[in-house]
Amino acid sequence: MILVGLTGGIASGKSLTANILRGLGAYLLDADEISHELIKSESPVWRDIVDRFGTDILREDKEIDRPSLARIIFSDQEKRLELNAILHPRIFTEEERRRKEIAGRDPSAIVVFVAPLLIECSAHELVDKVILVYADRNTQIKRLMERDRLSREEAIRRIESQMPLSKKREFADYIIDGRRPKNEIEEEVRKIYAELKEMTVSV
């Protein structure tokens, strides 16, 4: 089994790259999707978050209103770190459980762990290869404003909450320009996947 970390800046094009890899046969473990499952109403993680941030972050159905929580943590670094301290250990535990399950079924699997904060959390040290998807700051701002209906100031705050992409490049084995046309990105990802497949044969 090969474990690949897929990361990049917010709104840089990670989802497109992840979907292409899935289509080629990779198993995806998405940190955001795991997080969404962990915070479902009345779960242990849900209780920890509500205890810390209060019931004002809840919708009428008692689920956490993620946009409300995001506004809080992206305007207060200390609160963002507190949320990360609640979520990250559980996310990595669940990722490991799922990864071992996949490896048991398919020893030659290519497992891709999609994690925006892979490098910030030092989880890049636990994977075999790192794929970084990047886009320039203006592209990130434009995409965030359109995708999440954020103001320019809100988009900038979210971008600045992450490690600069220029720094992340130092940790990457493969770098994909997320601004390129979809067909060009797909061609590049196919080449990367072919290399990863060769590694599973030699492992």
87 or 203, greater pLDDT: 87
3-state secondary structure 147-196: HHCCCHHHHHHHHHCCCCHHHHHHHCCEEEECCCCHHHHHHHHHHHHHHH
What are the angstrom distances between the C-alpha of 111 and each of 39, 97, 98, 168?
A: 24, 13, 10, 21
Contact between 24 and 130 (Cβ < 8 Å): no
The tens digit of pLDDT for each residue in 34-74 reads 999 999 999 999 999 999 999 999 999 999 999 999 999 99
Q: How far is CA 100 from the centre of its chain?
A: 19
Contact between 184 and 142 (Cβ < 8 Å): no
| Confidence band, pLDDT 50/70/90 cuts, at residue 203 | low
Q: In this structure, what is the dihedral angle of CA atoms 46, 48, 52, 58, given to the nearest 10 degrees?
A: 10
The predicted pLDDT at position 202 comes to 61
| Confidence band, pLDDT 50/70/90 cuts, at residue 200 | confident
Query: What are the structural domain ranges in the chain?
Result: 2-198
pTM of model > 0.75: yes
Give the domain 2-198 fold: Rossmann fold (3.40.50)
The tens digit of pLDDT for each residue in 91-137 reads 999 999 999 999 999 999 999 999 999 999 999 999 999 999 999 99
The tens digit of pLDDT for each residue in 158-170 reads 999 888 888 999 9
The predicted pLDDT at position 201 comes to 75
